[in-house]
């Protein structure tokens, strides 16, 4: 079950925030209470490259109060076809510094916790513990599995997103209600690599949809992709939803 802050303890909105988010208040099922829930929420994003960077940007724009960002390394020229939080003049400098600057330029009220390293067994529990919702945008299974184990152990919902070529996969895992990443992928892929074919618009679309999953989880409206895997092939513009199931005895979520 989701780690939720009681509504009675939610922060109030300032007049500036009311003006900024006025268009969102009229979204059916969202309203001012949904906005306050976003303001009071913390979201962990594992990797803020092409996919996670768009998630972070959309959540900052929507008014999530606190982002916990995990990503190491410096900006490379090859990042710039898709990583919207990075800029050409910052090549060779910290990805995290660039991301923080861009996000705060959009939303100066945003609180950011910066983990200048990728998620691993060493930091996953500490990072997940600080979050209400987790978003996995990491390309490598060693990171994804570490995050999944911590999210299941701490009972935090995890939005799982991945892109390849012109296709993306998206689902949401809710501890005790759905399966988990290990149920979906019992073994790591033997062909998955850090570098893969992708056009920047693909993680742009996927990241926006992943951000919406997070917003719906926090604000408690609409349907999410729990127990369903969305597979969207943008080459043929075909979308499929596959039913997912919990795996009995799963080492990560079988105890829930």
Beta strands in 75-182 (DSSP E): 111-115, 133-136, 158-164, 167-173
Cβ(209)–Cβ(229) below 8 Å:
no
Mean pLDDT of the chain: 95
Q: For strands 133-136 and 111-115, give the pairing.
A: unpaired
**Residue indicated by tokens 């268009």:** 23
Q: What are phi and psi of 248, to 5 degrees?
A: -60, 135
SS3 186: coil
Ordered strands of the 158-164 beta sheet:
111-115, 66-70, 42-46, 133-136, 158-164, 167-173, 228-233, 238-243
pLDDT, one tens digit per residue, over 166-208 is: 999 999 999 999 999 999 999 987 776 667 889 999 999 999 9
Cβ(174)–Cβ(253) below 8 Å:
no
Q: In residues, how long is the chain?
A: 256
pLDDT, one tens digit per residue, over 140-168 is: 999 999 999 999 999 999 999 999 999 99
Q: Sorting pLDDT into bands at 50, 70 and 90, what band is 71?
A: very high
Per CATH, the number for 15-160+199-225 is: 3.40.50.720
Residue 3 has pLDDT above 70, yes or no: no
What percentage of the chain carries pLDDT values higher than 70? Answer: 98
Euclidean distance between CA atoms 207 and 217, whole angstroms: 15
Residue 73 has pLDDT above 60, yes or no: yes
Domain residue extents for the chain: 15-160+199-225
Beta strands in 9-77 (DSSP E): 42-46, 66-70
């Amino acid at each position: 079950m989701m780690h939720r802050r009681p509504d009675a303890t939610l922060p109030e909105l300032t007049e500036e925030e009311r003006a900024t988010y006025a268009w969102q208040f009229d979204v059916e099922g969202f309203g001012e209470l949904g906005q306050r829930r976003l303001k009071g929420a913390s979201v962990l994003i594992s990797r803020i490259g092409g996919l996670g960077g768009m998630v972070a940007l959309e959540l900052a724009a929507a008014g999530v109060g606190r982002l916990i960002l995990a990503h190491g390394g410096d900006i490379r020229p090859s990042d710039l076809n898709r990583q919207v939080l990075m800029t050409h003049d910052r090549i060779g400098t910290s990805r995290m510094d660039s991301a923080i600057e861009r996000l705060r330029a959009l939303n100066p009220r945003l609180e950011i916790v910066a983990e200048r390293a990728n998620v691993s067994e060493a930091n996953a529990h500490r990072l997940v513990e600080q979050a209400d919702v987790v978003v996995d945008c990491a390309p490598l299974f060693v990171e994804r599995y570490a995050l999944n184990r911590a999210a299941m152990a701490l009972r935090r919902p995890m939005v799982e997103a991945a892109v390849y070529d012109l296709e993306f996969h998206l689902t949401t895992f809710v501890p005790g209600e759905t399966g988990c990443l290990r149920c979906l992928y019992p073994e790591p892929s033997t062909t998955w690599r850090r570098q893969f074919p992708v056009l920047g618009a693909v993680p742009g679309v996927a990241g926006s949809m992943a951000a919406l999953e997070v917003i719906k989880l926090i604000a408690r409206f609409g349907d999410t992709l729990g127990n369903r895997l969305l597979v969207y092939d943008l080459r043929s513009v075909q979308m499929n939803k596959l039913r997912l199931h919990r795996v009995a005895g799963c080492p990560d979520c079988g105890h829930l």
